[in-house]
Structure 1
Amino acid sequence: MTSTTSSTVERAFRAALYAETDTALDTGASLLAGDPAADAELARRGREFVSAAWRRGWQPADVVRIVRRELDDVHVRLASELIRAQAPDDRPRGPRWRAQLDELAEQAAETAAAPPRTDRFTHATTVLELYRLLLRLPGLEPLEEHEPPAGRQPRPESRMLTRIRALLAKAEATGFPEEAEALTAKAQELSARHSIDEALLAARAPSPDAPGACRIGVEAPYEQAKAVLLDAVATANHCRAVWNEPFAFSTVVGFEADLEAVELLYTSLLVQATTAMTKAETAQRAGGRRRTKTFRQSFLAAYAHRIGTRLAAAAETQVTDDLLPVLASREVAVTAQTDRMFPETTTTRLRGVSDEAGWTEGAQAADRAQVGARPRLP
């Protein structure tokens, strides 16, 4: 790096990063476009912006999510490149963080044939738009990942989780709503058993696990109803969910085995709810109905409300009186961790739930999963 290239980048940043106008952006992009020798320094500064985001509590998936929401696909690709370029210089991270980096690498491989950038000015404009966003990211609650205690091997990506994934895959693939929801209920029972096994193991360990947290995207449209659905799934799996509406995610606090179950079940239920909603909406349209937005919002709200009851009932089939003290102590730990991370939270009323047909259809879609009592798992 020379003083000249550094000066070019600094002048471009002063012109573009601290002002909102297109004129300021054009000025900065012109400076960078006219000095190819500044490219390496510009990339280095981008990696510094990424590192600063990590220090403020952001994670790779969070950054990509906010860039996708606020900017365009070209900015998302650039952000992914910066994150992957910064990774070798980063400190050791936990398995969830590494999984996010792996996902970015897989996505990059899938889009390797993307068209190349056009001209230097356009590329410089894209870079400055991205850096402007990264610079202004606020602080988030830091998430801690807990590795297994020394001498204890991590639980295998257990056969239980493999079975849960298989059940949910079948639920998403079937064309029969009753079958899909029965498979989901069975997956919840397995998740409850997996959670209990982990709880008993931790209770016997010299250094029990501590609650952790993860962020799960809750994105438009109908994000309120989706947040309610995620909260229902989290509650049924001994976790707590706190929704951050401005940044389109919920933070779920809980023990690792439960966090895995929440991610799996929420993703699957969202797919199933969307499928059921689309079918119900098609029938409504055939009858001459046009109010799509209110129907969908009400459908998802009703689905989330009813599914919470179903999941809780499925989880309770695995709990016996002798397990209550163990589960209660973990619930206290999760609540305490949530209160430490979020000392101030507010409640919000679900808006836009005004469509009777949508509510009825959503409730019926969830009710079909009530398949009666099930025998205890071996």
Structure 2
Amino acid sequence: MGTDNRNRRQAERRKEREHRRHRSAAQTGSATGSQPGPRTGPPPSGQYRPGDAEQVLALVGQAVQAFHHGRPGPAQRVVGLLADGPAGWRTTVDRILFAELQQAVAQVWPRGWQPAELVRGARRETGTVGSDLTADLVVAQYRSYAAARVAPEWAEQVRALGEPWWGRDADHPQRFAERHRLRRPAAVDTALRVLTFLYAVPALQVLCPLPGHARTASAGAVTRADPAKLTRIRALLAKAEATEFPEEAEALSARAQEMMARHSIDHAALAAQAGTTGDTRGRRLPVEAPYEQHKASLLSVVSEANHCRSVWHKDLGMCTVMGAAGDVDAVELLFTSLLLQATRAMRQAGATRDAYGRSTTRSFRTSFLTAFTARIGERLAEAAVTGRDRAVDEYAESGTDLVPVLARREREVEEAFAEAFPELVEVPVASSSNAQGWTAGRAAADAADFGVRDRLGG
């Protein structure tokens, strides 16, 4: 398991560029001829004045700088200046803030971020209200693109964020404040914190075409996955996760496993017949606290067993999985199901204490997850070999040699991963010290049901 070290250095350089830009904006505002300097606040009348826009921009730059450097006192003084004042001043502030936020969102996409992960990142950095504002900004900005020039996965993420509910964009600031019951200073504060977050996001790998640059897939292209099959697989795994009867769960997830393995092999064969190559994709999955390192380790072993590779972005709370498109789908489904099963088993164990009455719950759970991951890795590796051998034999009977096809796919994944992450830092998983947790984790892994490459059916 590794973390991307290059991203951190790129982020620092980007932050410094943004700082210089905002310092320049603040200096320009304070040096504006006969117009009032940026620290004087709103004008005494309700009329718009030509210098108000420059003054607002300068104040916004000061606020972003203060928030970024963790200076709450100066930041809140600027928030007060922007939030206070007559109607004309408030309208100017709202208009400029919304425009700055929209521009900042558009500038995030070339840095590799996608809609769902940007909103999730905003939640980590600014809270629920900030993530709601970010979602609205993404939805509003998305309307500037022609539907035919947006990748399907991108459009799906935006649709999941909802529809524009606020009417005209000019009305959004006021309606957003009303919707979330925010007083004006709190609404301005939220907007500035989100703007600070958007300016500071680090660069990530671009995993799909940027909005406005996607091209319609050709008629002969091999699709990534069969939506109907994925729907049935999700339904089977959901039932396996929900049932309290181990035998039923095993039967349900074995069937899901069979379907995913068959889908992956069939997809590879179809791609080979069509002469299609370069099917390697990347997808970022959330890996949140607590125990995020152990969760990332579980995702890593699931990925490796399914001919994918993963890297943990520790500071961003997510991992990137790279592999053939159908395999990435399988990894996401299986990881989600196994994590749910592991979490449920840990909670059923309840709180633990040592002989002196001291809490050992955390050490129990870290040991549990370490053991669970190790055993799942063993089971998946065994299943992957068995499933691959059976598939190769079955296709060989019909005259199709899958060995070079699967080897080429694995080679493409390794090359794409090495290109995307040329500098990685290996992070060892924390050692286990709780024997009770280790034993429980191994037992839970033995009882776990998973859905990839364990059995192949017709």
Provide TM-score, normalisation by structure 2: 0.74
Task: Pick from 137, 140, 143 the counterpart of residue 85 of structure 1.
Answer: 140
Determine the structure 1 residue equivalent to 2:73.
Answer: 23
Provide the rounded CA distance (Å) in 1 between the counterparts of 2:380 and 2:49. Answer: 61
Determine the structure 2 residue equivalent to 1:172.
Answer: 241
In structure 2, list runs of 5 or more residues that go unmatched: 1-47, 167-175, 393-400
Q: Which moved more, 1:215-224 or 1:232-241?
A: 232-241
Provide the rounded CA distance (Å) in 2 between the counterparts of 1:143 and 1:292. Answer: 38
Offset of 1:209 from its aligned partner? 4.3
Determine the structure 1 residue equivalent to 2:416.
Answer: 337
Tell me, yes or no, if structure 1 residue 131 matches structure 2 residue 195: yes
Work out whether residues 241 and 340 of structure 2, in 8 Å CA contact, stay in contact via their aligned partners in 1. yes
Determine the structure 1 residue equivalent to 2:441.
Answer: 362
Determine the structure 2 residue equivalent to 1:207.
Answer: 276
Gap change, CA 1:126 and 1:363, over 3 Å in 2: same
Provide the rounded CA distance (Å) in 1 between the counterparts of 2:178 and 2:49. Answer: 32
- Counterparts of residues 208-287 of structure 1 (less than 5 Å): 208-281=277-350, 284=352
Work out whether residues 181 and 366 of structure 1, in 8 Å CA contact, stay in contact via their aligned partners in 2. no
Work out whether residues 177 and 184 of structure 2, in 8 Å CA contact, stay in contact via their aligned partners in 1. no
Q: Which moved more, 1:73-82 or 1:12-21?
A: 12-21
Alignment partner of 2:316: what SS? coil
Work out whether residues 296 and 358 of structure 1, in 8 Å CA contact, stay in contact via their aligned partners in 2. yes
Determine the structure 2 residue equivalent to 1:349.
Answer: 428
| Matched residue type, 1:360 | T
Alignment partner of 2:310: what SS? strand
Work out whether residues 341 and 448 of structure 2, in 8 Å CA contact, stay in contact via their aligned partners in 1. no
| Matched residue type, 1:198 | H
Work out whether residues 129 and 180 of structure 2, in 8 Å CA contact, stay in contact via their aligned partners in 1. no
Gap change, CA 1:2 and 1:173, over 3 Å in 2: farther
Determine the structure 1 residue equivalent to 2:39.
Answer: none
- Counterparts of residues 29-178 of structure 1 (less than 5 Å): 29-33=79-83, 34=85, 35-38=89-92, 39-90=94-145, 92-105=149-162, 116-144=180-208, 148-152=217-221, 154=223, 157-177=226-246
Provide the rounded CA distance (Å) in 1 between the counterparts of 2:104 and 2:250. Answer: 45
Higher RCO structure, 1 or 2 (CA under 8 Å, sep 6+): 2
Gap change, CA 1:100 and 1:114, over 3 Å in 2: farther
Task: Pick from 312, 329, 344 the counterpart of residue 381 of structure 2.
Answer: 312
Q: Which moved more, 1:252-261 or 1:332-341?
A: 252-261
Offset of 1:367 from its aligned partner? 1.1
Provide the rounded CA distance (Å) in 1 between the counterparts of 2:221 and 2:95. Answer: 44
The alignment yields a C-alpha RMSD, in angstroms, of: 2.9
Provide the rounded CA distance (Å) in 1 between the counterparts of 2:106 and 2:222. Answer: 31
Q: What fraction of aligned residue pairs are identical, expressed as a percent? A: 43
Offset of 1:2 from its aligned partner? 7.7
Provide the rounded CA distance (Å) in 1 between the counterparts of 2:165 and 2:206. Answer: 27
Work out whether residues 299 and 362 of structure 1, in 8 Å CA contact, stay in contact via their aligned partners in 2. yes
Provide the rounded CA distance (Å) in 2 between the counterparts of 1:150 and 1:362. Answer: 48
Q: Residue deviations 1:299-356, cap 9 Å, x none?
A: 1121112112222333333323442221111000000000000011121111152211
In structure 1, list runs of 5 or more residues that go unmatched: none
Provide the rounded CA distance (Å) in 2 between the counterparts of 1:37 and 1:218. Answer: 40
Provide the rounded CA distance (Å) in 2 between the counterparts of 1:376 and 1:79. Answer: 44
Alignment partner of 2:136: what SS? helix
Gap change, CA 1:113 and 1:257, over 3 Å in 2: farther
Q: Which moved more, 1:11-20 or 1:37-46?
A: 11-20
Higher-Rg member (1/2): 2
Work out whether residues 318 and 377 of structure 1, in 8 Å CA contact, stay in contact via their aligned partners in 2. no
Q: Residue deviations 1:179-207, cap 9 Å, x none?
A: 43554344333222111111011111133
Work out whether residues 364 and 436 of structure 2, in 8 Å CA contact, stay in contact via their aligned partners in 1. yes
Gap change, CA 1:376 and 1:254, over 3 Å in 2: closer
Q: Residue deviations 1:152-198, cap 9 Å, x none?
A: 36366344323321220111111134543554344333222111111
Work out whether residues 140 and 164 of structure 2, in 8 Å CA contact, stay in contact via their aligned partners in 1. no
Q: Which moved more, 1:92-101 or 1:124-133?
A: 92-101
Provide TM-score, normalisation by structure 1: 0.89
Q: Residue deviations 1:85-127, cap 9 Å, x none?
A: 1111247332222222122118999xx9995333211111111
Work out whether residues 317 and 376 of structure 1, in 8 Å CA contact, stay in contact via their aligned partners in 2. no
| Matched residue type, 2:135 | S
- Counterparts of residues 287-306 of structure 1 (less than 5 Å): 290-306=359-375
Provide the rounded CA distance (Å) in 2 between the counterparts of 1:158 and 1:37. Answer: 46
